[in-house]
Amino acid sequence: MREEYKREGLDGRDNFDEYEFLTEEGSYYAVYAGRWMNKDDNLVCCFDLDDGRKVRSMVWKDSGYHKLEQIPLGTTLRLEFKLSCTGRNYLRKVVVISKAE
């Protein structure tokens, strides 16, 4: 599956250095900005939050990638992040608000 997902982003960009992991839990509206597979076959997703922050999140294979491998870049989403008992922030839910054209 990794061959299908080389770094891809909106407008052809493939540099996501400005995207950081989110530290606080909550529900956020975002535009799906980029994705790629890491070496463990987990999906790394980048989002432009409606408050201007640029965040990334790991999406695990065992969660079915929350179907993010099938959602077009540019789609507006509602994302729910929750802290684990170890203090890590994980993407727990993805809701499509409006699909990219």
Fold that domain 2-98 belongs to in CATH: OB fold (Dihydrolipoamide Acetyltransferase, E2P) (2.40.50)
Q: Is the pLDDT of residue 10 over 80?
A: no
Is the torsion defined by CA of 53, 84, 42, 91 positive or negative?
negative
> pTM of the entire structure?
0.87
Residue that the structure tokens 């099938």 belong to: 70
Tokens encoding 43: 């999906």
Q: Domain residue spans in the chain?
A: 2-98
**45 dihedral zone (left: phi>0; alpha: psi -120 to 50; beta):** beta
Give the pLDDT confidence of 25-57 residue by residue, as tens digits: 999 999 999 999 888 888 999 999 999 999 999
User: How many Cβ atoms from other residues are within 10 Å of residue 56's Cβ?
Assistant: 18
d(CA 23, CA 88): 8
